[in-house]
Amino acid sequence: MFKIGDVEIENRVVLAPMAGVCNAAFRLTVKEFGAGLVCAEMISDKALLFKNEKTMNMLYIDSRENPMSLQIFGGEKETLVEAAKYVDQNTTADIIDINMGCPVSKIIKCEAGARWLLDPNKIYEMVSAVVEAVDKPVTVKMRTGWDEDHIYAVENAKMIEKAGASALSLHGRTRKQMYEGHADWDIIKQVKEAVNIPVIGNGDVTTPELAKKMLDETGVDAVMIGREALGNPWMIYRTVHYLETGELMPEPDVEEKIKIAILHLDRLIQLKGEKVAVMEMRKHASWYLKGIRGNGKARKAINQTNTRDEMVAVLEQFVQDVKDKQAS
Ligand SMILES: Cc1cc2nc3c(=O)[nH]c(=O)nc-3n(C[C@H](O)[C@H](O)[C@H](O)COP(=O)(O)O)c2cc1C
């Protein structure tokens, strides 16, 4: 257990924020698989202030998700603070997270995301303005630096702490690396040693054993898991269980996987309506099938589906095919 401000987090496993993925349907599913904290996909401060309909829908939180964290991004103090105030006063999020790691050019051009990594003073100014304006605890998610020649992770982390943030999470890659190469856990360790607020380590935690290794080697308060949880909420459950007991749970069988994929689909339909949900679920369904032998035909067929019934039929047929193969 650890605390972010006055928010108690039951265990040391956190779902990473992922744009286009971490909506209420996926977050709730991952929460039910035991995550101590789930993080929402990033939300643009300006889109929120313009009351963009799609953005406002992204603020929906299911009460079973808490504690959860909502992430905002922006490049200007005024709009970032106003967006933070909106989240503070109008949502049931427990934590307000500021994105300081997004590497995408579109975001960098708006002086947002990873752009701040080059300017510790801006970090202080922006984070302290948000902290002063809201009641909920504020956290920051960042990368190690801009590129290998501009790694200010420790300096930036100290500024985040000085500005009054209640925790920070650190993805061990630079902006330039995007998602390539390895996450640098040494820098994560240095940051953990440099500040007193909780630090959540992130990057390349792909097995429960690696989660333990990161905790042991870096001393971080929690691990954050992103890509490995895609179509695989069992990664969260197996990690929580391994950290608590040292026992490695088996991977789920195909029937179990498809059962959860359909639950996920139904939750997405509730959230976004059938048409949008099925389109969005195509990528998730494909992730749920990842690693299962003979999935090629089903993955192709999933991309042709337009309704719940069509998608469920493909998924259920796939389970049957796998079972038939096992029986023969
Ligand atoms: C599809 C996708 C979307 C992402 N969106 C966000 C986001 O909205 N906010 C953010 O801070 N990080 C975002 N990230 C980065 C992840 O939170 C995480 O830092 C990164 O994937 C490294 O962790 P991993 O090795 O466990 O995947 C995203 C990553 C992926 C793959």
- pLDDT digits over 166-220, tens only? 999 999 999 999 999 999 999 999 999 999 999 999 999 999 999 999 999 999 9
- Give the closest residue (by CA) to ligand 1 atom 28: 18
Decide whether any atom of ligand 1 lies within 6 Å of the 113 Cβ: no
Mean pLDDT of the chain: 97
Decide whether any atom of ligand 1 lies within 6 Å of the 16 Cβ: yes
Cα–Cα distance between 310 and 304 in angstroms, integer? 9
Decide whether any atom of ligand 1 lies within 6 Å of the 201 Cβ: no
Answer yes or no: is pLDDT of 77 > 90.
Answer: yes
Average pLDDT over residues 290-304: 95
Average pLDDT over residues 130-151: 97
Decide whether any atom of ligand 1 lies within 6 Å of the 72 Cβ: no
Answer yes or no: is pLDDT of 45 > 90.
Answer: yes
Decide whether any atom of ligand 1 lies within 6 Å of the 71 Cβ: yes
Q: Which of 137, 165, 140 is nearest to 67 (CA)?
A: 137
Task: Determine the residue of 227, 280, 283 to mutate for testing ligand 1's pocket, defined as the one with the most ligand atoms within 8 A of the Cβ atom.
Answer: 227
| Bridge partners for 202 per DSSP | 171, 224
Q: Quote the pLDDT of residue 39.
A: 98
Answer yes or no: is pLDDT of 328 > 90.
Answer: no
Instruction: Say if pTM beats, i.e. exceeds, 0.75.
Output: yes
Q: Quote the pLDDT of residue 229.
A: 98
Strands 222-225 vs 199-202: parallel, antiparallel or unpaired: parallel
Average pLDDT over residues 24-48: 98
Q: Quote the pLDDT of residue 231.
A: 98
Task: Determine the residue of 14, 15, 18 to mutate for testing ligand 1's pocket, defined as the one with the most ligand atoms within 8 A of the Cβ atom.
Answer: 18
Counting from 1 in the atom list of ligand 1, the atom nearest the Cα of 225 is 26
22 labelled catalytic: no
Average pLDDT over residues 225-240: 98
Cα–Cα distance between 96 and 131 in angstroms, integer? 9
- The string of pLDDT tens digits covering residues 106-117 is 999 999 999 999
Categorize the per-residue pLDDT at 3 as very low, low, confident or very high, splitting at 50, 70 and 90: very high
Cα–Cα distance between 209 and 229 in angstroms, integer? 15
Q: With the C-alpha atoms ordered 231, 12, 180, 144, is the resulting torsion angle positive or negative?
A: positive
- The string of pLDDT tens digits covering residues 301-323 is 999 999 999 999 999 999 999 99
Cα–Cα distance between 111 and 198 in angstroms, integer? 26
At a CB cut-off of 8 Å and minimum separation 6, what does 45 contact? Answer: 72, 73, 74, 76, 79, 80, 82, 83, 84
Measured in Å, residue 328 CA sits from the centre of ligand 1 at 41
